[in-house]
Amino acid sequence: MTDVIRDTIDRILTRVNAIGAGGPGFTRPSYSPLETEAHGVIEEEAGALGLGVTRDAGSNLFARLPGRDRSAPPLYIGSHLDTVPMGGAYDGVAGVAAAMALVAHFVERGETPPCDIVATVTRAEESVWFPVSYIGSRAALSRLTAEEMEARRADTGRTLADHMREEGGDPDRVLAGPGLPAATFLELHIEQGPLLDTAHEPFALIEGVRGGLRYRFAAIEGVWAHSGGAPRHLRSDAVFALADMISALDRDWAEMLEAGHDLAVTVGRVDAATDEHAFAKVPGRVGFCLDMRSIDPAVLDEMDRRLGRIVSRIEEARGVTFRLGPSSRSTPSALSKTLADRLEEAAGPLGFSPRRMVSGGGHDAAAFAAAGWTSGMVFIRNWDGSHNPDEGMDPADLADAVRCVAAAWADAQARPA
Amino acid sequence: MTDVIRDTIDRILTRVNAIGAGGPGFTRPSYSPLETEAHGVIEEEAGALGLGVTRDAGSNLFARLPGRDRSAPPLYIGSHLDTVPMGGAYDGVAGVAAAMALVAHFVERGETPPCDIVATVTRAEESVWFPVSYIGSRAALSRLTAEEMEARRADTGRTLADHMREEGGDPDRVLAGPGLPAATFLELHIEQGPLLDTAHEPFALIEGVRGGLRYRFAAIEGVWAHSGGAPRHLRSDAVFALADMISALDRDWAEMLEAGHDLAVTVGRVDAATDEHAFAKVPGRVGFCLDMRSIDPAVLDEMDRRLGRIVSRIEEARGVTFRLGPSSRSTPSALSKTLADRLEEAAGPLGFSPRRMVSGGGHDAAAFAAAGWTSGMVFIRNWDGSHNPDEGMDPADLADAVRCVAAAWADAQARPA
């Protein structure tokens, strides 16, 4: 017996991942010919299903399956096809494959959903290329700014407007609007974390997307000294000061979690490895990044206050100077509880009881939520991390999640009495 | 009134520091034509004083002022003229200038010292060029090995034997020996630490040279993960693990000092700044160096045991793996108490009461002590660290120390009754 959901998922994963710059892993830059070529695969697949395909001014792609009530707000379901450099086989494309599998399911059964279902392929979700968040979805919503259109791509140095134009978009029309009217957006995406895999659960429903507070260009300045000659009480050791900071933040992090708050703290980059650093020198400088995330903006505010106190205490104790540099913030986004409830209700009879959790990473769903849409996400269990060539996912888990979405959008009026 | 000690010091500092590769700072590689050119300056200066100059098979230079008792073991006094890359104006050359100022003092006064005084210019003290310690002095003592002769210079990739030959040495004769018979060696050198400057003391007498225990190629392996997606209890964060290690070593260090032990702990290099590291990734790896120094080998043994326990505890708690890599040890060297007492006795009447302290860095004096010589050091106050272009020293402090040495070697039989 063929399984159109699983077959569609497998075929689209294979076809899209055949497109990319040389390995290791998968590289499809935002607004690149490679991303456009991947969008072309979805256009073909939609054509084979007999769906009408449109592109908006941001060159996002929409494949529409008409519903019973054409005036009801549609269900937009999808994700993106760009990747980070040397990224994985699932971040983005899994959600697009799921959307196509959902519409294929309805088409194969000759079933009409209660509202239009629009398989949606956004552009430029990975902010590593342009320093702008959720570019494609915000283009669809006409929420990009003229300044953001001038952002330059990390590899080419050319502007977003230029690249968008080259890939069939129209920056002026994006800015002029209007964007899509509010409807429902649903995104299936790999978890990018080990929680579901560790708990042996195939998928989960997402309550919100964490906001972030980031110091990307922080440094500590101490005093260079000879490792044999400088006594402990006369040192201003930048690396020991950083260890103090990390230990203090780690204690606060544990305390916040114990108090029931949501928080993640990461020091992803530490640089005391320049030509100036040597094994026999007390380090006079260390550069680092600090990334704190929470679903609750008040928790980020509180951690920022604590960071300030920690920094003052260490500066005093160690005779060093912290240069935290500019901080950037992203606002946490609550996702739709109604949407999650609807999916949970459909999942039960299929034998699933997905947990609710929050997303640590940013996703297009956050952009739709910010624009007032009913927006939701389903996380698919994955392993070996994300944004790397080893990123793992079982397509069977994705197919199970799609079956729940299909059940949640089955037309009640079409069901046998 | 001219001051031959101060004049000689100033002139030799100026002449030698005019020789070097382009700045910033001063660069005279070990066994390079630049080091040889600097040795030539000392040969000229010695000739002007009417001293006989010899070079040994290692191309070290000796300028001899005959003493009253030609059969008594001579006082060898001196230091080296090579520098680290972009080093300072005093590390090494100050000790050579002091030696020449001492003999100039005797020559100018027509005074004969009780024993021969041999101004000594060693080669290749800075182990950054060849990965071998105290090359020149160990060549003089015939304590280099055939294997060490094959060590390659960091910049040229060519062997020590080759470079030694090019600068007038004879590696085979160095290996064949015999080395110099045991006598007295005295080295004046900048402190390379802030202790004397902070305490407003011009110079100090050195009791010993710290030994070291070094892990130069250590790393911690964790698990790469998405900074938003990985919950705290499922992370294996290499950087947080390193912070744990540094904090634990710092506590142990403070405890050892409180118990009266000598110890210095330095993590001079931390590398979590590769292409794989990013602000939004939990770091799966960090490289680092660890350098622990003490005058007491038992303290290094105890710290190594504690390090082992710290590592096991962190591996267990954080799910990371430490790869400490190979360790290297250098043995602490006790310097001569008799020699320090003799200098202290001479310093008193001149208005100085130099403290006793240990040296954190390695020096030629350690090689002579290891060979059974009566070996000692005087540290000169300095500031702005060492091994960098800003290395500071007041020549007046060096001149004061030379005056004490001159007083200590004044011939008792020549003194007025």
Distance separating alpha carbons of residues B299 and B292, to the nearest angstrom: 10
Q: Residue B387: its chain A contacts at CB < 8 A? A: 226, 281
Among the three residues B330, B361, B383, which one is the final residue of a domain in this structure?
B330
B165 plus B202 within the same structural domain:
yes
Together in a domain, A25 and A68 = yes
Residue of chain B minimizing CA distance to A91: B226
Tell me: do A176 and A275 sit in the same domain.
Answer: no
Shared-domain flag, residues B150 and B37? yes
% pLDDT > 70, chain B: 98
Which chain B residues are within 8 Å of A259, Cβ to Cβ? none
Mean pLDDT across the stretch B88-101?
A: 97
- Same-domain status, A45 and A155: yes
Q: Is B199 on the interface with A (CB under 8 A)?
A: no
Q: What percent of chain A has pLDDT over 70?
A: 98
Per-residue model confidence as pLDDT tens digits over B312-339? 999 999 999 999 999 988 889 999 999 9
Residues B262, B408 share a domain? no
B21 and B136 in a single domain? The answer is yes
pLDDT above 90 covers a percentage of chain A that reads 87
Calpha distance A356→A351 (Å, rounded): 16
pLDDT of A207 over the 50 cut: yes
- In angstroms, the CA A22 to CA A83 distance is 13
Q: Nearest-CA neighbor of A19 among A118, A96, A76, A105?
A: A96
Interface with A, mutate which of B269, B333, B358, B379 (most A CBs under 10 A): B269
% of chain B at pLDDT higher than 90: 87
* Angle (deg, nearest 10), helices B337-347 and B395-408: 100
**Alpha-carbon distance values, A170 to A56, A150, A161, A289 (Å):** 9, 14, 8, 36
Preceding peptide of B24 cis, ω within 30°: yes
Q: Does A286 touch chain B (CB under 8 A)?
A: yes
pLDDT tens for B353-379 read 999 999 988 899 999 999 999 999 999
Q: How many domains does chain B have?
A: 2
Q: Are residues B94 and B226 in the same domain?
A: no
Cβ contact B322:B200 at 8 Å:
no
Tokens 């899994």 map to which residue?
A: A94
Q: Are residues A177 and A269 in the same domain?
A: no
Inter-chain touch B291–A273, beta carbons under 8 Å: no
* Residue B328 CB-density burial (10 A; 0-12 exposed, 13-18 middle, 19+ buried): exposed
Domain range spanning residue B288? Answer: 211-330
C-alpha torsion sign, points B220, B222, B227, B228 = negative
d(CA B131, CA B227): 40
What pLDDT sits at residue B244? Answer: 98
Instruction: Give A268's pLDDT tier (boundaries 50, 70, 90).
Output: very high
Q: C-alpha angle B217/B222/B228, rounded to 5°?
A: 135
Displacement of CA A8 from its chain's centroid (Å): 23
A218 and A291 together in one domain: yes
| Residue B1's pLDDT band (cuts 50, 70, 90) | low
B57 — pLDDT class (breaks 50, 70, 90): very high
Q: How far is A79 from chain B (nearest CA, A)?
A: 18
Tell whether residue B163 is among the known ligand binding residues.
Answer: no
Interface residue of A210, A261, A270 to substitute, partner B, most B CBs within 10 Å: A270
Q: Are residues B306 and B394 in the same domain?
A: no
User: Is B416's pLDDT higher than 50?
Assistant: no
How many CB atoms sit inside 10 A of residue A352's CB?
18
Burial group, residue B41, by CB count within 10 angstroms (0-12, 13-18, 19+): buried
- Quickly state the pLDDT bin for A412 (edges 50, 70, 90): low
The confidence score (pLDDT) of residue B414 equals: 53
Bridging pattern class, strands B52-55 and B382-383? unpaired
Each residue's pLDDT tens digit, B116-149? 999 999 999 998 899 898 999 999 999 999 999 9
Mean pLDDT score, B184-203: 96
Contact B408, B345 (CB under 8 A): yes
ipTM above 0.85, yes or no: no
Is some CB atom of chain B closer than 8 A to the CB atom of A199? Answer: no
- The CATH number of whichever domain residue A43 belongs to comes to 3.40.630.10
Report, as an integer, the average pLDDT of A179-191. Answer: 97
Q: Which of B330, B357, B388 is the last residue of a domain?
A: B330
Residue B225 has a pLDDT of 87
Is A95 in a helix, a strand, or coil? helix
For B329, what's the count of Cα atoms within 13 Å in the CB-facing half-sphere? 13
Task: List the CATH number of the domain containing B262.
Answer: 3.30.70.360
Bridge-based pairing state of the strands B285-294 and B327-330: unpaired
Residue B194 shares a structural domain with residue B268: no
Cis omega (within 30 of 0) for bond into B178: yes
A211 lies within 8 A of chain B by CB: no
Partner residue facing B210 (CB), from A228, A244, A293: A228
CB A77 within 8 A of CB A374: no
Q: Which helix (H) or strand (E) holds B204?
A: strand B203-209
A223 phi/psi in degrees, rounded to 5: -130, 125
Closest C-alpha among B107, B124, B129 to residue B45: B107
pLDDT band for A417, please (50, 70, 90 cuts).
very low
Statement: residue A1 has pLDDT above 70: no
> What is the pLDDT, as a whole number, of residue B412?
66
pLDDT tens figures, A133-156 = 899 999 999 999 999 999 999 899
Q: Which of B292, B309, B330 is the last residue of a domain?
A: B330
Lookup: tokens for A147: 């300044």
